[in-house]
Structure 1
Amino acid sequence: MSGFDFSVIADSLPSLSGGLAMSFMLTAIAMAGGLILGLILAIVRLSNIRFVSIIAALYVNGFRAVPLILVIFWFYFLVPLVIGRPVGALFSVIIAFIMFEGAYYSEILRAGMQSVRRGQWQAAKASGLSFLQIVRLVVLPQALRKMAPLMVTQGVILFQDTSLVYVVSLHDFMTSASIVANTQNRMVEMYVFAAAVYFILCTLGSALAERLKRNPTLA
């Protein structure tokens, strides 16, 4: 390879844009599913039902103790053995991401809800609201504003983690860039471009998190 030839980037834009779309899709689905699952886990852990609270805690601590790539392997290789049929790379990755992110969003949301003053919990309970009504109407709106920066930061980490789907042959942005780099023998150009894209997108996400931290009313 002689000199730099960044024209390979323009020639490969269809493949790269398809990979970037896959990364965005996985990030959006995993964030949405992770937030829903995380909220359920957080509420269960804050409830007075000790048995289910312990189960939820074991779930959260278990998933936070293993790397995401191992969770992807579990669902891609082990689940078909259990149910007796293949589940497909995309479906297994989506489920793995949601269950993994749910554990992290659970801790973010639980910390946010616990940060609401105890007096507000007690006042809402005294007014006759049920536990779920207190969470939905009083606690959660305040917690979400406080935890929005952390949730955005977790989303940035999640976007970076989508590069792990190469292990099940899904073509995310990083995998697409690697394929072009190897087939066109333009390693430097493609990896510099990939690094620039990740840097720009993650910097924008971090800037949004910082802005939400300085002005929580934007959440």
Structure 2
Amino acid sequence: MGNLDFGVVRQAFPYLLEGMGLTISLTLLAAILGLAFGIVLALMRLSSFRVISAPAATYVNVMRSIPLLLVIFWFYFLVPYVGAWLIGATQPIQVGALRSVIVGFTLFEAAYFCEIVRAGIQSIPRGQVSAAYALGLNYRQAMTSVVLPQAIRNMIPSLLTRTIIIFQDTSLVYVVALTDFLGAATKIGQRDGRLTELYLFVAVVYLVVCFLASRSVKRLELRTLRAR
């Protein structure tokens, strides 16, 4: 421990800050896009028509059964060749690492957000839906005006918890050579021979951020329970 030199953290701080910017951007994009797609999947799963609910259920079950790392690999390495085959090109299409990661995270996280949204919708008493129909509202109006506003309040703690998990999972983007917070620490540590110091600093940052975020979610959950 006496050989540790944390001065390298101070020197690398601008580069680490840039990596954290990418980490936060990916977290927000994956959460927003994944939630949007997840809502669509949840509504499909709740449909009474088997032809609509079955594909959504299959998608969710498949995505929740495979690692996120594999999804990123598939999109980054396979989609360029599949796209070239579909359009008849002789060379793989250019997808790019950042686009691959965003799409991969969105497709993967949508399956988890789908189940959160579905549970939130099902937590609303059926009597309220019946009352909305009795007032002359159609299915879309009942969902947007009656069900979803109440369901979102119930879902917020779970949605935020999933967002914290996404924040942690962004470290997987190293497989496509993107420089996130952990990736920046790794590159600088390898260059300067100070991996231990930088990894300790990264671990502390992740611990503090995730702990504070988890405590905030817990407080929000308690307030939501009291509001009920």
Structure 2 length-normalised TM: 0.92
- Distance, in Å, in 2 between the alignment partners of 1:70 and 1:53 is 25
Q: Distance in 1 between matches of 2:105 and 2:17?
A: 22
Instruction: Judge conservation of contact 2:121–2:151 (CA < 8 Å) in 1.
Output: yes
1:34 aligns with 2:34: yes
CA distance in structure 1 between the partners assigned to 2:12 and 2:36 by the alignment: 37
Per-residue displacement from partner, 1:50-94 (whole Å, max 9, x unpaired)?
211111111111111100000000100010001121200000100
User: How far apart, in 2, do the equivalents of 1:180 and 1:13 lie?
Assistant: 10
**Contact 1:152–1:208 at 8 Å: present in 2 too?**
no
User: Deviation at 1:2?
Assistant: 5.9
Post-superposition Cα deviations, 1:99-132, rounded to whole Å, max 9, x if no partner, equal 1111100000000000101111111112221111
Alignment of 1:131-170 (within 5 A): 131-170=139-178
For 2:129 and 2:19, the matched residues in 1 are separated by 46
What is residue 206 of structure 1 aligned with on the other side?
214
Kept in 2, the 8 Å contact 1:149–1:213? The answer is yes
CA contact (8 A) 2:46 2:53 kept: yes
- List gaps (5 residues or longer) in structure 1: none
Corresponding residue for residue 121 of structure 2 = 113
3-state SS of the aligned residue for 2:66? coil
Determine the structure 2 residue equivalent to 1:55: 55
Distance in 2, matches of 1:132 and 1:57, equals 21
Q: Are 1:129 and 2:108 matched, yes or no? A: no
Which of 177, 181, 188 aligns to 1:173? It is 181
Cα offsets for 1:24-47 (capped at 9, x unmatched): 000000000011001111111112
Please give the secondary structure, in 1, of the residue aligned with 2:95. coil
Task: Give the partner amino acid of 1:64.
Answer: R
Structure 2 stretches lacking a partner, 5+ long: 85-92
Distance, in Å, in 2 between the alignment partners of 1:208 and 1:151 is: 13
How many aligned positions are there?
218
Residues 175-212 of structure 1 show CA distances to partners (whole Å, capped at 9, x for unaligned) of 11111111111122111100011011111210121011
Question: 2: CA distance between counterparts of 1:105 and 1:184?
Answer: 41
Provide the rounded CA distance (Å) in 2 between the counterparts of 1:204 and 1:78: 38
Paired AA for residue 21 in structure 1: G
4+ runs of 1 displaced by more than 4 Å?
none
